[in-house]
Amino acid sequence: MLWRIRTTLADRPGILAEIALACGRSGVNILGMQVFPTSPRVTDEFIVSAPEGWGDVQLAELFEEAGGAQVSATRVSDDSLIDAPTRYLRGVHEVLEEGRDAEEVLRELLETEPPDVADYRGHDVLDLTRRNGSVLRISRAIPFTSVERARAQALLSLVSDAGYETPLISPSPRQQVPMVREATLADIEAVAALHARCSVETLYNRYQVPLRMPMTTRMARRLVSPESGVALVVQVGLDVVGHGVLEALDTVWTFQLLVEDAWQGQGLGTMLVKQAAGRAKSHGAPRLTFITEGSNDKLLRTVGNAGFVARVERHDGNVHITVPLSAVRSIAAG
């Protein structure tokens, strides 16, 4: 059985040797250790395996007799042997890529769930601030160190900066002026919300396959940060009402776009087409290809409204609309 022992020690040479010697004499094996600097004392955390029949009381007494104070002993799993930075990085991955709730991940990392210490002295409170200003409160019987507080806030800030836990945005008034810009990770939830508001037909024209909803965080993240290109969004007020991905497939630059049903027919697609063409030109592309479902004539009209003379070809049931970029003015990234 593994235990986490947390104790406050005098910050002096030799104290760890005394702890290790006491553990060795009692058959308690130290498997891992973390140091949480404080002043004028230091808080150390040990992961240990204890002999059969040992409990939290015996372990606490062992460390107290060796010079420890404010000792707490908690049963833990083998995951506690993984170093803390790796566990927190894995936690970020689980939130962003697997869609887990940030609070649930933090509670696992901070080990707030039972079993807790037997000697219950009340809860220490950890208040973490989300990107939207709301507060996530986590508490446990064992006091939080300043290092743990900093790690937890850093994780929550990181996933919040990537758009996680930002409320879905409701439509804003039409009188706002549309703006085309490059997408960022902060647009993840807004792009997911855009897809949720689009009809099945609009989504099929964009992806050429039925799109399974609701959209996952992983897919939305790829839509705002493609591996080999750039994503564009149309923002009206606080809402993202259009989206497109410009990317290089082998040597061919392609662009696929999506405009929310309620905003179609108002020139937003034309704005996206012009911006995509300028950015493709800045990357040295001689031409740009738009791909859509075979029966979608709206995109061809959109390309024409942008001032292009296009070559139209059919490939595997889809329409490829290719335009030359020789007369297009480059648009730098940013």
The yes-or-no answer to whether 2-80 and 179-324 have a common fold is no
pLDDT-derived band at 304, boundaries 50, 70, 90: confident
pLDDT at 85 over 50: yes
Q: How far apart are CA 164 and CA 183, in angstroms?
A: 15
CA distances for 281 relative to 14, 328, 329, angstroms: 66, 7, 7
Confirm if 290 and 273 have CB atoms less than 8 A apart.
yes
Around Cβ 262, how many Cβ atoms within 10 Å?
13
pLDDT at 143: 79
Assign domain 2-80 to its CATH superfamily. ACT domain (3.30.70.260)
Least confident of 2-11, 76-85, 299-308: 76-85
E strand residue ranges, the chain: 2-10, 29-37, 41-49, 69-76, 124-129, 135-140, 179-182, 229-236, 239-249, 252-259, 287-293, 311-315, 318-324
pLDDT at 274: 93
pLDDT at 201 over 70: yes
Name the class of domain 179-324: alpha beta
pLDDT at 135: 84
Parallel, antiparallel, or unpaired: how do β-strands 287-293 and 252-259 relate? parallel
Q: Look at 239 and 166; give whichever has higher pLDDT.
A: 239
pLDDT-derived band at 162, boundaries 50, 70, 90: low
Q: Where are the domains of the chain?
A: 2-80, 84-161, 179-324
Name the pTM for this structure. Answer: 0.48
pLDDT digits (tens, 9 = 90+) for 111-133: 776 544 444 444 678 888 877 67
Q: What percent of the chain has pLDDT over 90?
A: 29
Residue linked to tokens 């219950």: 120
Least confident of 137-151, 191-205, 260-274: 137-151
Q: How far apart are CA 128 and CA 147, in angstroms?
A: 13
Confirm if 265 and 235 have CB atoms less than 8 A apart.
no
pLDDT digits (tens, 9 = 90+) for 46-65: 999 999 889 889 999 999 99
pLDDT at 116: 45
Confirm if 279 and 230 have CB atoms less than 8 A apart.
yes
pLDDT at 209: 79
